[in-house]
Amino acid sequence: MHIQKLISIAIVLQALLLFTPVRAFANTGEDQEIGVPQAIEESVYTCFGAALSPDGNHFYTAHEDGVITQYRINPFKKLSSVAFDREQLKDLRGRVGSQCHLLITSDEKKLIIRLRHKLLLIDTGSGRILNKYAPVGYDVTISNAIMNDGELVLFEADYEQRVYKLIVLDANTLSKKREIKNLGEIIEISQGGIPFFGRYRDRIYFAWSQYRLLVLNSKTYTPELSLFSRGGHGEGVLPHISRDYQTLYYKNVYKVTDYMTGKQTNLEVPTWGRSVDVLVFDQRTRESRIENTNTIPKKTLVEFFLHPVGASRAHNYLLATIGRSASTGGIANLETGTMLYRFYQYADGEAILIEEASPGEYRHFQLTSSARKYLMMKNREGNVIPINDATFANYFLKNGLH
């Protein structure tokens, strides 16, 4: 199952996380049915965020109960847990925010919780809130954010006034370093779009919905390239990039502005949504050409290289949470386009990590010390019942050994 068929415009992994596994059932010698393990999803009403560590070996979560927890991925283990002031999750209007996005500094000494109207800088060792940041303006929201070495890049939007900015903060202090005010003019932002971010090597990629792509220099934040597309259906809606991160591939492009050469090119686009033509732009040579999608070897491309809102990336791995409805998330391999793990966290810090052998088929699961009480199983009739010993033993992986 290809990841592109499961992704929504809003976020890469949500559709994958909602997929219900199905596989064959068996009976043991004791006539205990081996069913399909089902982790209980615990609801959250305000805040649940998660982010991969820079090395991709563990991840952090922030829970609405006011706890930051660190988990090692393989073998799965709860490493640490600290409390923070959960009252700070309230926005400027005194309400608890409905978005909770977690970011991590490169040394992992500080975490940043992004809410819709403010940021919290938290010490990972003590849980102490070191600083806060709020945009100027009552209706201004922080719609997305990414780490850029020691800097934090925010997309701030006042949708009523149609004012859009990129704000650059020091990630270790939240002090403002610079502001790019004319973003809306450069990329023609519309009210119905969705901001995507990605940082690869010395460039930052900012996409507005499926129609606009802006490439910025990651050191100076000056524009290097913008591509305007009419969008389209099926694969290739969002841009792709070569494995050396130099060549861009984008369907249905009708305007190319190369700020480094001062050249603007207008292209004729065939019928909307049915074009097989792809603009190929080499960011090293600044040359472009049109190719047929069928002539481009897919193994040469990296797919979905931009961050959805609230996701995090480490190397070729992407972590995303399911949203505000449950303390649940998933880790996918961007290179292969497959889900690797699902994780389920509970209010007491207990958690379950489930590995998939293939889409919809479990390989095994790992637990924190007291998480078995959150496990159920689906039997052959499709009913979810308490997990039995046979099913538990069949799938349980302890300390990396089955």
Q: Residues 292-328: pLDDT tens digits?
A: 877 777 666 665 456 667 788 888 888 988 755 789 9
Regarding whether 349 and 260 lie in a shared domain, the answer is: no
Backbone angles phi, psi at 394, to 5 degrees: -70, -30
Regarding whether 327 and 257 lie in a shared domain, the answer is: no
Asked whether residue 374 is assigned to any structural domain, the reply reads no
- Put residue 234 in one of left, alpha, beta given phi > 0 → left and psi -120 to 50 → alpha: left
Regarding whether 153 and 259 lie in a shared domain, the answer is: no
**Is the pTM above the cut of 0.95?**
no
Q: Which residues pair with 59 in a beta bridge?
A: 52, 71
Residue 4 in this model has a pLDDT that exceeds 50: no
Regarding whether 313 and 174 lie in a shared domain, the answer is: yes
Regarding whether 142 and 165 lie in a shared domain, the answer is: yes
Regarding whether 149 and 203 lie in a shared domain, the answer is: no
Asked whether residue 97 is assigned to any structural domain, the reply reads yes
Asked whether residue 28 is assigned to any structural domain, the reply reads no
Residue 5 in this model has a pLDDT that exceeds 50: no
Regarding whether 139 and 127 lie in a shared domain, the answer is: yes
Asked whether residue 21 is assigned to any structural domain, the reply reads no
- For 165, the domain range is 1-15+43-194+309-367
Lowest mean pLDDT among 123-137, 327-341, 379-393: 327-341
Asked whether residue 34 is assigned to any structural domain, the reply reads no
Total domains present in the chain: 2
Show the tokens assigned to 216: 């910025």
* pLDDT tens for each residue of 117-176: 899 999 999 999 999 999 988 888 898 899 999 999 999 988 888 888 899 999 999 999
Regarding whether 224 and 170 lie in a shared domain, the answer is: no
Asked whether residue 22 is assigned to any structural domain, the reply reads no
CATH number for the domain spanning 130: value is 2.40.128.630
Which tops the pLDDT comparison, 20 or 329?
A: 329
Regarding whether 268 and 207 lie in a shared domain, the answer is: yes
Residue 22 in this model has a pLDDT that exceeds 50: no
Of 259, 277, 302, the position where a domain reaches its end is 302
Of 264, 280, 302, the position where a domain reaches its end is 302
Give residue 237's pLDDT: 52
Asked whether residue 384 is assigned to any structural domain, the reply reads no
Regarding whether 102 and 179 lie in a shared domain, the answer is: yes
Q: Are the CB atoms for 319 and 311 separated by under 8 Å?
A: yes
CB count, 10 Å around CB of 179?
13
Regarding whether 225 and 90 lie in a shared domain, the answer is: no
Regarding whether 111 and 3 lie in a shared domain, the answer is: yes
Of 262, 281, 302, the position where a domain reaches its end is 302
Q: How many residues does the chain have?
A: 402
